């Protein structure tokens, strides 16, 4: 735009024209790498419109995907050796159905290597008759020391008033330790692998042994709060046990060992500058590729229509 033409403009035309450099007068024009082409020199095409629409849809999809992954924290894990320090306690929740034993005979016993031996634990314990009173749903919350030991469901608490026939056929609904992390983005089965275990068809007078290998687990949130829970794996066996008088002494045993290795999960979110960099790469890359496709489309179309 020449200087005399620029000076002859006024009003809105002058404000628009002021956005353009006067070549040859303002040397800052040489710094502009984004030269403007008048619209009169460009020609819209149907192919270009199609490429533009597809590019916009593609960019929108990628932007929404990146935004979703940005606001959703990533969960990363690490392992470290737990500091034993003082002996801690961990919470245990047990929920099982004994399908062939009345509630009046059932009790919970707790033992460990520190000398604890509790028979007939009753705190936070609920017994609910099922199947017309022939069976019992047993649920309890209790604490155990973080040392090797066991807890078992038995008839020991009733002393000499034992039933004529003891049948510990059972269904396990839940055996969990520590805080509930099943609503997090972790494998829920690792925290309650015994859920749904069905030994309701077991023989009477049989004992059932579950060997639990417990792994302490820490979940750290973005706000710094930590939840402590425990994953575990198990092995199982069943057998008939007899006392000195020849009478069977069945029970459901949960024998546990606690691993010295702790698994720590912590939520991590990508920095905001990473998100912005990704957005710029998506938009710039898509427009660049779309421009290449659009620039190649017409020459290829014309060459294909040329007569042989």
pLDDT digits (tens, 9 = 90+) for 93-105: 999 999 999 999 9
Q: What is the reported pLDDT for 22?
A: 59
Cβ–Cβ contacts within 10 Å for residue 59, how many? 17
The torsion angles phi and psi of 32, rounded to 5 degrees, stand at -80, 115
The larger pLDDT score, comparing residue 19 to residue 160, is at: 160
Mean of pLDDT values over 6-33 = 57
User: Taking the domains of the chain in order of start, what are their residue ranges?
Assistant: 1-38, 43-72+270-308, 78-268
Residue 52 has pLDDT above 90, yes or no: no
Which of 68-72, 158-162, 296-300, 302-306 is modeled with the greatest confidence? 68-72
Residue 137 has pLDDT above 90, yes or no: yes
Residue 253 has pLDDT above 50, yes or no: yes
- Chain-wide mean pLDDT for the chain? 83
The larger pLDDT score, comparing residue 269 to residue 199, is at: 199
Q: What is the reported pLDDT for 2?
A: 47
Q: Which of 115-119, 156-160, 172-176 has the lowest mean pLDDT?
A: 156-160
pLDDT-based confidence at residue 35 (cuts at 50, 70, 90): confident
H/E stretch holding 63 = helix 46-71
Say if residues 292 and 210 touch (Cβ distance below 8 Å): no
Mean of pLDDT values over 70-80 = 87
pLDDT-based confidence at residue 297 (cuts at 50, 70, 90): confident
Residue 291 has pLDDT above 50, yes or no: yes
The torsion angles phi and psi of 96, rounded to 5 degrees, stand at -135, 160
Cβ–Cβ contacts within 10 Å for residue 249, how many? 17
pLDDT-based confidence at residue 247 (cuts at 50, 70, 90): low
Residue 246 has pLDDT above 80, yes or no: no
The torsion angles phi and psi of 307, rounded to 5 degrees, stand at -70, 145
């Amino acid at each position: 735009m020449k200087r005399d033409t620029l000076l002859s403009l006024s009003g809105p035309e002058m404000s628009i024209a002021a956005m353009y450099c006067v070549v040859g007068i303002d040397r800052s024009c040489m710094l502009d790498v984004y030269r403007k082409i008048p619209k009169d020199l460009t020609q819209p095409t149907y192919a270009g419109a199609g490429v533009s629409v597809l590019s916009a849809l593609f960019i929108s999809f990628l932007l929404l995907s990146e935004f979703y992954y940005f606001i959703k924290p990533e969960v990363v894990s690490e392992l470290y050796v737990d500091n034993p320090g003082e002996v801690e306690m961990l919470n245990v929740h047990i929920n099982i159905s004994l399908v062939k034993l009345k509630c009046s005979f059932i009790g919970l016993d707790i033992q460990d290597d520190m000398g604890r031996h509790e028979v007939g634990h009753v705190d936070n314990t609920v017994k609910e008759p099922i199947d017309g009173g022939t069976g019992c749903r047993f649920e309890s919350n209790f604490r155990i020391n973080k040392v090797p030991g066991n807890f078992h469901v038995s008839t020991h608490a009733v002393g000499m008033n034992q039933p004529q026939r003891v049948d510990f056929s059972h269904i396990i609904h839940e055996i969990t330790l520590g805080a509930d992390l099943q609503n997090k983005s972790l494998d829920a089965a690792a925290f309650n692998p015994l859920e749904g275990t069905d030994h309701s068809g077991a023989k009477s007078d049989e004992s059932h042994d579950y060997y639990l290998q417990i792994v302490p687990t820490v979940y750290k949130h973005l706000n710094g709060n930590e939840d402590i829970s425990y994953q575990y794996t198990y092995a199982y066996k069943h057998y008939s046990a007899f006392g000195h008088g020849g009478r069977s002494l069945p029970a459901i045993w949960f024998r546990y060992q606690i691993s010295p290795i702790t698994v720590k999960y912590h939520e991590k979110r990508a920095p905001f500058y990473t998100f912005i960099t990704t957005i710029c790469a998506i938009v710039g890359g898509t427009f660049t590729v779309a421009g290449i496709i659009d620039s190649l489309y017409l020459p290829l179309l014309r060459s294909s229509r040329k007569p042989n």
